[in-house]
Structures are given as structure tokens and as C-alpha cells.
Amino acid sequence: MLYLVGLGLSDETDITVKGLEVVKKASRVYLEAYTSILLVDQSVLESYYGRSISIADREMVESNSDEILRNAQNEDVAFLVVGDPFGATTHTDLVIRARELSIPVRTVPNASILSGIGACGLQLYNFGQTVSMVFFTESWKPASFYDKIRENRAIGLHTLVLVDIKVKEPSLENLARGRMIYEPPRYMTVGQCAAQMLEIEDDKREGVYSRDSLAIGAARVGGSTERFVAGTLEELCSQDDALGPPLHSLVLLGRRTHELELQYVREFAVDKEKWDRIWNADYGKQQ
Amino acid sequence: MLYLVGLGLSDETDITVKGLEVVKKASRVYLEAYTSILLVDQSVLESYYGRSISIADREMVESNSDEILRNAQNEDVAFLVVGDPFGATTHTDLVIRARELSIPVRTVPNASILSGIGACGLQLYNFGQTVSMVFFTESWKPASFYDKIRENRAIGLHTLVLVDIKVKEPSLENLARGRMIYEPPRYMTVGQCAAQMLEIEDDKREGVYSRDSLAIGAARVGGSTERFVAGTLEELCSQDDALGPPLHSLVLLGRRTHELELQYVREFAVDKEKWDRIWNADYGKQQ
């Protein structure tokens, strides 16, 4: 059996009791460690589980998944995923491959940032499609998020923006020279995300959002040091110190907001007076 | 401290290790038991936790929350919620009230149907806003879901339809007579949901979807008896036996589908040939 086990969002104790039982009895344990990270190290997990863990990097999961699935017809393999196993596309691939090999699959769900973000006080019902933000380079500034945010905002919905992490990735220069030397890990901050969003708006000038659009920066959602900061996109460009260490994510508000959301969220506002002024002028309206 | 503890989707072992620690040491333990249910009884939870649990019904949470929060400035109160604590509006209310009383609040996240539904094979990134379907009566057929589905479908997105449950609700007749006599619990099925959706389309005739629109019926998501059935809305009207006991939910597909989603989902199709034919004609297009 292949078990896809969600680890939740924060530390070693966010695994479910069911998930922990699976990890303790599986023949092999893999940790998918490139689409997201926990706030604790592998060694903490290993000592907590009483098991050694193999790190499954992108290369292994995407090109060498048969090693992960080896003999899973006859023994139990646990594939651990930060958050919920179905947060990222890659794991669907793995399940399809397991099916082809007649390996039964079971999922142990857990908290995902897609639902955990509800802790910021915005109603999950009012979110549209989720978008991703990657690190821009001088020559590569993918902006497909812009059109998706437009679609969400046109119908008044909030947008969750998931930000890039780079773990064990070769630099472009090293890749070009065929050297597998990896860069140190990088985690995008809310400030970088907000700045890249404004860069694209400045470039396209289609008014999908502006410097004064309301947003919430989130850090370490679901952990004991969880932190939210609410403000305009411009304000959020300089709130990384207040938010602290990774992981970060950002929510751009839609206009179809509810009074209850305002009450909850304004507690987190950098500048409550400004927040109220913009909210009253532009938000809380059906469309 | 007020702890909002998510219980996950299925049974007593879906609680996180962190959540279980909170439950074991809290002074009082409440279970919110009207927006969703686990697949096991209260007595199973009580014996697993080694604690007695007070059931918090809608009346208590919405009108008598100060009883739940009593002395939580000085002792720990655990408020257990099926799924994730921020799935339903009610709990935001409770947190706002706790803040007014200067009670610190901590959340223990868990799997929610909003992310757990990813197990059906559709990418969570491609979902629009979530809608709710209530039991229709002869005179009351609320159809606000219809316009929201239109908005999602106009931009090619999937829609998760959460279906009604009625737990400890007085019948209209008893309510009118001022008698607090409760009806037996009722859980809407995928078949009832699909039929109500088609009833509203037949009534409005705005072509938001049709009998041939593709959808997935889901039952007991995240549990060991999890079941998915894929088919047209018309087919799903009569698949309740295949799906089995509650809880059910339904996903109406958007047209912006990915080849990987097709591969995964067709495994669940009632009639694979029909599924492929409609998919190839109407889906998989980037709008």
C-alpha cells in the first residue's frame, strides 16, 4: 500500500494520530521536501517518529517515482507531504503511477494552507482560484497570476497567493554548465510578493489592483508563532520584519466582503484608520 | 485560553497529535455538532480522548457562547470542530467574542472538505468559490448557488457544492407551535443535490449547466470507505447506492480542465465512454 500522509502546516505534532500510526509501521518513509516545508528540521521529525526518513526531491518524485513505489504491492510505503497530500500536482502523478502498477493507495488528509488561511478571518467561501508567485529574474517575470486575479476580482472574490520556495535547485549558471551544485534555500516573503505584484500592475496598467488594494500578509499559518499583517499592497512591501521567518503567503481581498470579515481582520491592520477608510470606500459591496 | 481544535474528516484518529494533547488537558471540552459530523459517535470520541464532551448545538454557540468561554481567561477550553475550525462562519463569531473578553485564542488546524476534496483528482487550484445547497421545501428553494456557479463556470473553474445536514432542528410545524421537538437527523445525498440543481436550471433556463454537465459525487472524503462517482448531473441523480452513507458532497466541473485531471477522474466514471465523449467535446479547453 502507498500511503500519502499529510503532515499539516507547522511542526512534528501536526501529524494526525492516524498518520503517525502509518509512519511508525511503514517499511519505508519518504518526505517530499520541495513544494513546501515544515517549521522544524528533518532530524526533529525522525526522532519524533522513531524512524529514519528519505528525502524525496523533485528529481526523485518526478523522474524516479518507481523507486518510491518499489514493492509497494507487498509492503507499506509512507510518502509524507507538508500540508495536505493533494495540495500539489506532483502527487496526483504519483497516484496515477501507483495505479498503473496495481498498488493500492490510501490518503491521510491534513490541514492545507488552502483551508488554514481561514485563520486570517476572511471567509473561505469568498475565495476564488488560488494563484502562485515565482521569484522573478531579470528576464523572466511570469505574470499568469495577473489574469487569474482579474477573474477573481471581477466577481468580488479574495485571492490566495502562494509564494515561491527554492529548495535544492541548481542556479541557472550551474545548470547551463551541467553542474549539479545547489543554491541555498530561498523563501519568498510577503514583501517580495507584493512588490512583484505591483511591478506587473505598473507594467500592464490594466487596473486589476493598485498600491491601495487591501491585502493580508500571513506567516507560519497554523503554528504557535502564526502572524497576520493587514494593509495595502504598498504597506505590505515593507512588513517583512513584522511578519518574521518563512513560510509566508498573501491574500488579496475581493470587494465582496462581509462585515464580520472586517471586524476580524482590522485587528491585524498596520494602520487601522487607513484600512477603515479604504474598506468603507471600496469594499463590503456585492460586486 | 480558547483552543479551536479541528478534528479532520472521518474518525477519532484524524485528530492531530497536538490537538489530542489539548483535549486531554483542557478543563472543558465542547464539540460543535451542527455544521458537520464525523463518521463516529460522540461515545467513541469520549472513550478515545478519555474525556467527557459537551455537545454545543447551534443555539448554544450562537446565543450562549459566554457559557463556552466562561473563565477561559484562566483555564483552557477546547472547542472541537469537525474538519478545520475556520470552515464555518460561526467560529469566527466565537473568536471575536473571545477577543472582547480578552481571552487568548489558539487554533489547531486540520483537514477540511475544502482541501480534502482534492482526493477526487481535480486540482485545487482550479476551484472557484464554494457554494452550499440546502434542502428545498415546497415553498422555499433558495437558489443563490446558481449565480455563483455561473460566475465560476464563466471563468472555467470547478465548484464544490457542500450539502445540507439537519441535526437537532425542530420541524417547521413544531417551530410554529413553539414546541422544541426535534426531527431525526437528515443528510443530503449527491442524488438529492444533483436533482435540486437540475430543478433550478429547469426553472431558470439560463444554461449555467445542463443534464450533461460533468460532475463528481463524493462520499466520506478522507475516510477508509471514501468513494467517488463521476458522471453527468443526470447520472448522479441515481448513484446514491453506489456512494453509500453520508457525508456527501458534489463537484461540478469547470471547462478549464487539465489532461492529468481527466486521467485521474475517469477511473471513477459511471460510464467511461460517455464521460470521454462529453469531456472531449466540452472540456479541457482554456476558455
Give burial (CB, 10 Å; 0-12/13-18/19+) of A252. buried
Q: Residue B87: what pLDDT?
A: 77
Mean pLDDT taken over chain A: 92
Average pLDDT of A103-110?
Answer: 95
Q: How close is the nearest chain B Cα to the Cα of A143, in Å? A: 16
Q: Residue B287: what pLDDT?
A: 45
Residue B22 is assigned to a ligand binding site: no
Residue B87 is assigned to a ligand binding site: yes
What residues of chain B lie within 8 A of the CB of A129, using their CB? Answer: 125-128, 155, 157
**Band of the pLDDT at B286, cuts 50, 70, 90?**
low
The fold of the B2-111 domain, in CATH, is Cobalt-precorrin-4 Transmethylase; domain 1 (3.40.1010)
CB contact under 8 A, B16 and A110: yes
Average pLDDT of A117-143?
Answer: 95
What residues of chain A lie within 8 A of the CB of B124, using their CB? Answer: 86-87, 112, 114, 130
Question: Which of A9, A13, A16, A105 best tests the B interface by mutation, with the highest count of B CBs <10 A?
Answer: A16
Q: Which residue has the higher pLDDT, B152 or A169?
A: B152
Q: Tell me, rounded to whole angstroms, the distance of Cα B123 from its chain centroid.
A: 18
Q: Residue B35: what pLDDT?
A: 79
Beta-bridged to residue B216, according to DSSP, are: B230, B251
Closest residue in chain B to residue A147, using alpha carbons only: B155
CA B11 – CA A109 distance, rounded (Å): 12
CATH fit for domain A114-283, picks 3.30.950.10, 1.10.1270.20, 3.10.450.40, 3.40.50.450: 3.30.950.10
Closest residue in chain A to residue B264, using alpha carbons only: A96
Give burial (CB, 10 Å; 0-12/13-18/19+) of A38. buried
CA B263 – CA A48 distance, rounded (Å): 37
pLDDT at A239 over 70: yes
Question: Per this entry, what is the length of chain A?
Answer: 287
Residue B112 is assigned to a ligand binding site: yes
Asked if B68 and B92 count as a contact pair (C-beta separation under 8 A), the reply is: no
**Per-residue model confidence as pLDDT tens digits over B56-88:** 988 888 888 999 999 999 999 999 999 999 876
Q: Residue A167: what pLDDT?
A: 80
Give burial (CB, 10 Å; 0-12/13-18/19+) of A179. exposed
CB contact under 8 A, B16 and A8: yes
**Per-residue model confidence as pLDDT tens digits over B24-58:** 999 999 999 877 888 888 999 999 999 999 999 88
- Nearest alpha-carbon partner for B106 in A280, A285, A152, A119: A119
pLDDT at B170 over 70: no
Mode of pairing for the β-strands spanning B248-252 and B214-219: antiparallel
Average pLDDT of A57-72?
Answer: 91
Burial per residue of B216-242, b for 16 or more beta-carbon CB atoms within 10 angstroms, e otherwise? bbbbbbbbeebbbbbbbbebbbebbee
Known binding positions of A for S-adenosyl-L-methionine: 9, 84, 87, 112-113, 163, 221, 248
Model pTM score: 0.93
CB-based contacts of B157, cutoff 8 Å, min separation 6: A128, A129, B126, B127, B128, B254, B256
**Band of the pLDDT at A61, cuts 50, 70, 90?**
confident
Asked if B45 and B81 count as a contact pair (C-beta separation under 8 A), the reply is: no
- Output the nine-digit C-alpha cell for B183: 426531527
Q: Which residue has the higher pLDDT, A159 or B224?
A: A159
Q: How close is the nearest chain B Cα to the Cα of A118, in Å? A: 5
pLDDT at A168 over 80: no
What residues of chain A lie within 8 A of the CB of B99, using their CB? Answer: 267
Asked if A121 and A265 count as a contact pair (C-beta separation under 8 A), the reply is: yes
Q: Domain ranges in chain B?
A: 2-111, 114-283
**Per-residue model confidence as pLDDT tens digits over B228-281:** 999 999 999 999 999 999 999 999 999 999 888 998 999 999 999 999 999 999
Q: Which of A180-189, A262-271, B167-176, B252-261 has the lowest mean pLDDT?
A: B167-176
Q: How close is the nearest chain B Cα to the Cα of A178, in Å? A: 30
**Per-residue model confidence as pLDDT tens digits over A19-40:** 999 999 999 999 998 778 888 8
Q: Residue A180: what pLDDT?
A: 67
Ordered DSSP codes for B174-221: HHHTT---BPPPEE--HHHHHHHHHHHHHHH---S--TT-EEEEEEST
DSSP tag of B145: H
- Nearest alpha-carbon partner for A80 in A2, A17, A10: A2
Closest residue in chain A to residue B154, using alpha carbons only: A151
Q: Residue A285: what pLDDT?
A: 67
Mean pLDDT taken over chain B: 92
